[in-house]
Amino acid sequence: MYNLYLVTLFTFLIHLTSFGQAPPPQATPPAQTDVSERVRQLEENQRFADQGLAKSVDDLLWYQKLGDVAVIDKVRYASKPPHVIKNPTGQGANNPVVIPAYTFVSRKFASTKKLPLLIFVHDGIHGDFSTLYAHVVRELIDQGYMILAPEYRGSVGYGGAFYNQIDYGDYENDDVLAGKRWAVENMPQVDADRVGIIGWSHGGMITLMNIFDHPEDYKVAYAGVPVTDIIARLGYKPASYRTIFSAATHIGKDPSDNVAEYRRRSPVWNAQKLKTPLLIHTNTNDEDVNVLEVESLINALKAHEKKFEYKIYQDAPGGHSFNRLDTKLARESREEIYKFLAKYLTPPAAVK
């Protein structure tokens, strides 16, 4: 009984001395941490699986939308190794990244010996060449262009490893160039002296960097509402957008830590290199790429006394997508593009 009394008294004193103190922090049980990580991985895997399914469905839609007028294929070619290699000594660590790409040839011109080629670069940092572009592809192949549309690293629909290869403003440019050179070597109908490149938004940025760094590869270029200055762009985008580029799997530093690298990747800081005939379109009410950004490129090209053409649309309906829509204004704007391209690529059925 006496021992029981001492135990009770001792317990009471412990509670008394701890009265008013915060309880000790509770560590997250390892099992709970493991479950949270597993849930995160499952959600990520599901997201990439959904993207892959959507890509497979959209691939089928290409044949449904254009199969009557085009010979369509999906090819793969090799580009540069990954930008960031976690284990440089691992097996196959330095293997080139394999790039998928679409090819389109009009059935009308299937027997023509040589045709001009257009490299069509899709938009979006993590975008893809989807059937949203089917009407533009139809218009181009009807003129007699062959088309190669690269799904450069970072494009959606090919799993997490490919998605995370994005290298904003650098290795994607090389993926597109590798596609152009693959087409010239492997598509017998391609006239190597008549190759152009076109793209909107992020695709416009890649287009610009391709002609600035490799003018000998392209006869003409079109850049629609293009990203032109990454530094300026990050200045008017939210913090969540800015942090993407300083990630270790990306550029790795923000502009304040490595401004030279951001300049190297930005068309506005490479304007002095222009040698290729170029048409630029922008729109004053663009909700994605601010018109001031594109105007900076236009001014830089003028300052370097470069010959090029441009048009600034005033509050054109559709904002960032104004001339990719199914409207009268959009069709007229695309006619401007087609007439400009035809001057240098001479397709067999050029728009008059």
pLDDT tens per residue, range 141-160: 999 999 999 999 999 999 99
CA atoms within 13 A on the CB side of 248: 2
What's the average model confidence in pLDDT over 176-200? 98
Confidence label for 105 from pLDDT (cuts 50, 70 and 90): very high
Quickly state the pLDDT bin for 8 (edges 50, 70, 90).
Answer: very low
Average pLDDT value for the chain = 90
Q: How far apart are CA 138 and CA 116, in angstroms?
A: 15
pLDDT at 122: 98
SS3 call for 228: coil
- Token look-up 């997490």 returns 160
The predicted pLDDT at position 16 comes to 43
- Report H helices in 144-290: 160-163, 171-186, 202-213, 230-235, 239-245, 259-264
Q: Rounded distance, CA 70 to CA 15, Å?
A: 82
pTM comes to 0.89
Q: Where are the beta strands (DSSP E) in 68-168?
A: 70-78, 98-106, 115-121, 146-150
- According to DSSP, the residues that pair with 190 across neighbouring strands are 115
The per-residue pLDDT for range 52-103, each reduced to its tens digit, is: 999 999 999 999 999 999 999 999 999 999 988 888 888 988 999 999 999 9
The pLDDT score that the predictor gives to residue 35 is 87
Question: Is 173 in contact with 204 (CB distance < 8 Å)?
Answer: no
Query: Under a CB-based contact definition with an 8 Å cutoff, are residues 134 and 23 in contact?
Result: no
- pLDDT tier for residue 190 given thresholds of 50, 70 and 90: very high
Per DSSP, the three-state class of 215 is helix
The pLDDT, as a whole number, for residue 42 is: 92
Report the pLDDT averaged over residues 315-337. Answer: 98
Beta-strand pair 190-200/220-224: parallel
Q: Are strands 115-121 and 190-200 parallel, antiparallel or unpaired?
A: parallel
**pLDDT level of residue 11 (50, 70, 90 thresholds):** very low
**Domains within the chain, CATH numbers bracketed:** 36-229+266-345 (3.40.50.1820)
Supply the DSSP symbol for 31. Answer: H
- Enter the tokens of residue 242: 């800015």
Please tell me the predicted confidence (pLDDT) of residue 125: 84
pLDDT score of 19 more than 80: no
- Count Cβ atoms within 10 A of the Cβ of residue 21 and give its class: 0-12 exposed, 13-18 middle, 19 or more buried: exposed
Which pLDDT band, with edges at 50, 70 and 90, does 30 fall under? low
- Mean pLDDT computed over 121-137: 96
To the nearest whole percent, how much of the chain has pLDDT over 90? 75
Q: How confident is the model at residue 285 (pLDDT cuts 50, 70, 90)?
A: very high
Question: Which whole number is the average pLDDT over 273-283?
Answer: 98
Amino acid (1-letter code) at residue 228: T
